[in-house]
Amino acid sequence: MNYSNTIKTSFISIPENESLARVICASFISQLDPTIEELTDVKTAVSEAVTNSIVHGYSSKGNGMIFMDCTIENECFTVEIKDNGKGIEDIEKAMEPMYTSCPEAERSGMGFTVMETFMDSVKVNSVVGVGTKVTMKKVIKSKLL
C-alpha cells in the first residue's frame, strides 16, 4: 500500500514544549497503528532530540525556535528536529555514550545513545553558529489503518 503524509510544526525552546513534541509525534504516528513499544520508542527518541535542542542548542534560555517535521512514507516514520542554536563542534564526540558538554547541569550524556537505541537510524548534521538537525527513522511493522 502506498501512503504518505507530512506535518510541520515549530515551538519555542522551553522545557514545557518537550512534552508537546512527544504528543504531536504520538498522534501523528498513530495512523500507522504502532505497537505500544514502537510508540514509546519514538516518543522517547523525540524527547531526547528536543531536550538536546533546548539544553545544548539554546543553553536552556528559551530564546530560540525548534522545528519539527514528521513524515510517513508507507511504513517508515521520519522525524526531523532542527534548531538554529549554537551547533555542535564535534558530532562524533557528542554522540559518544556518557559524553556531555554540560557536566555542571548534571546531564548524563546519553541523549544520542538513547535515540540510536530506539530508532532504526539517526543522522546528525550541525554547523557551529548555525544550528543542528537530527533526522530519525523508524519502520513501523504494524499495518496501516
List the chain domain ranges. 4-139
Which segment of 14-28, 49-63, 93-107 scores lowest on mean pLDDT? 93-107
Q: What is the pLDDT of residue 142?
A: 62
Point out the catalytic residue in the list 18, 22, 38, 48. 48
Point out the catalytic residue in the list 18, 22, 52, 80. 52
Q: What is the pLDDT of residue 73?
A: 95
For residue 65, pLDDT beyond 60: yes
Is 16 known to be catalytic?
Answer: no
Is 107 known to be catalytic?
Answer: yes
Q: Is domain 4-139 annotated with CATH 3.30.565.10?
A: yes
**Of the spans 35-44, 54-63, 85-94, 113-122, which averages the highest pLDDT?**
35-44
Four-residue CA torsion sign, 89, 132, 135, 125: negative
Q: Which of 42, 63, 45, 46 is nearest to 54 (CA)?
A: 63
Determine the Cα–Cα distance for residues 93 and 79; give it in Å rounded to an integer. 23
Average pLDDT over residues 53-72: 90
Q: Would you place residue 119 in the very low, low, confident or very high pLDDT band (cuts 50, 70, 90)? A: very high
Is 37 known to be catalytic?
Answer: no
Phi, psi of 10 (to 5 degrees): -145, 155
For residue 90, pLDDT beyond 70: yes
Q: What is the pLDDT of residue 138?
A: 97
Determine the Cα–Cα distance for residues 61 and 114; give it in Å rounded to an integer. 24
Point out the catalytic residue in the list 75, 107, 116, 125. 107
Q: How many other CB atoms are there within 10 angstroms of residue 72's CB atom?
A: 19
Determine the Cα–Cα distance for residues 113 and 95; give it in Å rounded to an integer. 7
Provide the whole-model pTM. Answer: 0.87
